Chains A and B, each alone.
Chain A
């Protein structure tokens, strides 16, 4: 069980990280996130983010799973990058798919100020 949890945690991390914007991975990502993901072994890096986060952050997992993103299989790494490139998404990340919303929404706010993160309901 311990091992499983470890694995889970690993996957979680990977998940959080793996949702990076559509950018070349690696050094050019820029500033480090405020919180670093714990180190993962190569094997752990091969676990899908959601596998760990399902138990480690069940609220977030559930929000995502039940959202349109979850049903349409928009996975963690599409917004947060991989383990190596993990970052919080930006407006630009969302723009990859939501160009119209990007143009219509206020420019001084990040998307999830109005659209609940992970659930992405239209408005809070």
Chain B
């Protein structure tokens, strides 16, 4: 070609510039998508919790494109690269398409029929229950499963087998947010919506790299900031300067885990400078301390905060925090026309995650920055259906559908009655939470485990430890998924499932919005929707229990699946499940979705935000802001019932006094802080290009290329001290193990901290082999974000290969 690379690039640049001045452009290829597409079908993105609406484009029945829906209330047409490209997964040649089985884990898998697979799964679970009791079985699900799937799985486990060993990966990402909402507001999930973004004047983004983890919502925040650059303030609080910091007016960079001191200090300034809203506090709030909670006065709260003067907090927080920065942040927060806080895993994945959530809520309660347009305390969800399926649908060990705690007799009996099974079938004791569940696997207490649509072998903290349990020969492990993963490698039975748009169901995103995606293509070969798999498994289990002489369980299982018998699996079956869940289980609860039938969801392109107790309300889109009279029908109704006047009614089921609680929560460090032996903080997170364990995004060439492997980010000062140069190979060692990664030297992480992406599946780079499995005592969410490590250079740059289980790169 006779052109050097440099010349080529210069030439390309020149061509691009030429287009500016009307010089003829090089010939452009034929239109990429719209021209090729024959039909567009609406649905929701398969990945993060933003809930972007998409059109899937088909040509001759084959998915060939995706585009954003411009009228969408959520994404207004925008998509990030993951959303734009996920159609490539649908017909990917590496999809799992046949049930695979091996009796022993040291044997190779062999293909078997569905009938055989379902019989094996049914026999193993039934025999385990009869021999070891129901708590020797467990289900571990996902915030990516459809609501119908999570609901049916937990119904079978609880109502059929009689165990609360029902968990899901949202425990690893959202549990602390749930704990924070319940203890501060008495009700789970945000009060406001994304629509507040365009009405906010101050954004307090803490512990969240929104630019990469919630790109489309970040874009809305960015647009708001650019629309009113002087009026709108953005505060970004994070130990790491990230792409999110690029729109910040103020970056508060603190030592990992010290944000509890920072948040208390902001409250101190708000009170000291008289910036609080006395009327809001008096009317709606109470001050609380300890467990069991005790009432305290405003004066006692003030006294408590004296430990957190900005001067003292700046010392604790370290980094570039100064007392003046804390004061500025507090003033902007309190005095803006409307303040919206946004946070994700930096706050949640901590041994004091619930407290950190409480302290953010405290700032909103003190200042009355709540319930009015643009003001909200808004936690961002990681997965597309962590809120809908798992939090609302009963996918965690301590909650039944529609926010009913398992241990409350009345609510548990309600569920039993609604399902038509005898009272006493569902045990009152919550099951194992995630870490306890996998510890029980390690101890041999769980003998049969079903993992659906998630890969704990890679996503659990300290995962080597838990992989030992998953590899035990006496554990029968079923995995339902669309691709091979680190977890299918340890399974006995791998069942191929249908992917998005190959089945019908609902995702509920961050802002209480439920959106329906209808099946438009068939799953490949023998892959099946999970709802079909569960129903058929339950029916065969009933036969097994009969054979084993447990008539009661056989009968309960049959009752549980009876409403779904004979239904076609692509649409009718999930519809029947959604109907049961919404009409029977959510009716009268705070997440009332009974107005949001499939018919309504099909008519409502943007879906419905709960509460939506009637079809009329659902057809208008549901509730943009909870607790506000005139907007939220339940606020109206409950206010009337309870005789509460005024614009807001806090009817959250967890606070019988209908008050919001301001909590006195002291600063407490991480479970494992750096010391002489392990002097660095290690933190982990995501990149925009990859979705969680990258079993899907790793198979899309553009996304794999964009971030083919994890690397470790090191502050230049630390790198210089340790003689580490960019791309050198660096060993990260914690008390749990070692990994080796290329170094990226840049001013992202604060000095004394290193940061790793966790999507990489290659053994030598897999972040969770070294992270810590300490967890929050309240939410049981693990502290992925902080542990202690040491680092050392092991070699200069080395060529590396990306690795995805079963992917032919």
Chain A residues proximal to chain B, CB less than 8 Å: 5-6, 9-10, 12-14, 16, 18, 20-25, 29-31, 33-38, 43, 45-46, 48, 52-53, 56-57, 59-60, 68, 71-75, 77-78, 81-84, 87-93, 95-100, 110, 112-113, 116-118, 124
CB-CB nearest in chain A for B8: A38
* Contact indicator B9/A20 (Cβ below 8 Å): no
Given contacts A99-B68, A99-B70, A118-B16, contact A53 B9 (CB under 8 A): yes
User: Chain A residues near B230 (CB, 8 Å)?
Assistant: none
A58 to B31, CA, bound (A): 29
Is B30 located at the chain interface by the 8 A CB criterion?
A: yes
Q: Summarize A's interface: helix, strand, loop or mixed.
A: loop
Query: Of A68, A90, A117, which one neighbours B28 at CB under 8 angstroms?
Result: A90
| Complex CA distance for A87 and B688, rounded to whole angstroms | 23
- Return the CB mask of B5-39 against A: 1 if under 8 Å, else 0: 11011111101110110100111111111111000
- The answer to whether B215 touches A92, judged by C-beta atoms less than 8 angstroms apart, is no
A87 and B28 form a contact (CB under 8 A)? yes
Chain A residues closer than 8 Å to B709, beta-carbon distance: 46
Given the interface contacts A22-B65, A35-B12, does A96 sit within 8 Å of B79 by beta carbon? yes
Which residues of chain B from 66 to 92 have any CB-CB distance to chain A below 8 Å in the complex?
Answer: 66-68, 70, 77-81, 84-85, 87-88
Whether A116 lies near B20 (C-beta < 8 A) is: yes
With A30-B30, A97-B79 as known contacts, state yes or no: A9 contacts B5, CB within 8 Å: yes
> What would 19 A/B residue contacts be, using CB atoms closer than 8 Å?
A22-B87, A34-B15, A35-B3, A35-B26, A46-B708, A46-B800, A57-B13, A68-B226, A71-B243, A72-B218, A73-B80, A74-B81, A88-B26, A89-B28, A90-B31, A92-B32, A93-B32, A117-B16, A117-B17
**Cβ-closest 5 pairs across A and B:** A34-B26, A21-B32, A9-B5, A92-B31, A99-B70
Instruction: Determine the distance from Cα of A20 to Cα of B31 in the docked complex, in whole angstroms.
Output: 11
Q: Could you tell me the distance between the alpha carbons of A72 and B32 in the complex, rounded to whole angstroms?
A: 23
Q: Would B4 and A45 count as touching, CB distance under 8 A?
A: no
Cβ contact within 8 Å between A9 and B9: yes
Closest CB in chain A relative to B69 CB, distance in Å? 8
The answer on a CB contact under 8 Å between B215 and A72 is yes
Question: Known interface pairs A6-B5, A56-B9, A73-B243. Does A96 touch B68 (Cβ–Cβ under 8 Å)?
Answer: yes
A59 to chain B, nearest CB (A): 7
Question: Is B211 in contact with chain A by the CB < 8 A criterion?
Answer: yes
Assess A97 versus B78: contact at CB under 8 Å? Given A23-B32, A30-B30. yes
Query: Which chain B residue lies CB-closest to A50?
Result: B706
Determine whether B489 belongs to the interface, using a CB cutoff of 8 Å to chain A. no
Alpha-carbon distance A73/B705, docked complex (angstroms) = 15
CB distance B6 to A24 under 8 Å? no
In the bound complex, do residue A71 and residue B65 qualify as a contact, i.e. CB atoms below 8 Å apart?
no
Residues of B within 8 A of A13 (CB): 5, 8-9
A31 to B676, CA, bound (A): 61
Q: Is the CB of A72 within 8 A of B222?
A: yes
B25 and A88 contact, CB distance less than 8 A: yes
Knowing A71-B246, A96-B79, say if A9 contacts B6 (CB, 8 Å): yes
Contacts of B3 in A (CB 8 A): 35, 38
**Complex Cα spacing A110 to B85, Å:** 23
Give every chain B residue within 8 A of A59 (Cβ-Cβ).
13
Residues of A within 8 A of B549 (CB): none
B8 adjacent to A77 (CB under 8 Å): no
Contact check, B32 vs A73: say whether CB atoms are below 8 A apart: no
Chain A residues near B81 (CB, 8 Å)? 74-75, 77-78
C-alpha spacing A24/B84, complex, angstroms: 11
CB-defined contacts of B655 to chain A, threshold 8 Å:
none
B 695-726 binary contact with A (CB < 8 Å = 1; else 0)? 00000011001111100000000000000000
Cross-chain contact B222 with A113 (CB below 8 angstroms): no
Residue of B9, B34, B79, B87 with most partner-chain A CB within 10 A: B9
The CA of A96 and the CA of B85, in the complex, are separated in Å by 11
User: Known: A23-B64, A93-B32. Is A112-B78 also a contact (CB below 8 A)?
Assistant: no
> Closest B-chain residue to A100, C-beta based?
B70
**Which residues on the A side are within 8 Å of B5 (C-beta)?**
6, 9-10, 12-13, 38, 56
**Residues from chain A with Cβ under 8 Å of B660 in the complex:** none
Given A22-B65, A59-B13, residue A72 in contact with residue B211 (CB < 8 A): yes
Question: Which A residues lie within 8 Å of B701 (CB)?
Answer: 25, 82, 84
Contact residues in B for A43 (Cβ distance below 8 Å): 799
How far in angstroms is the closest Cβ of chain B from A87? 5
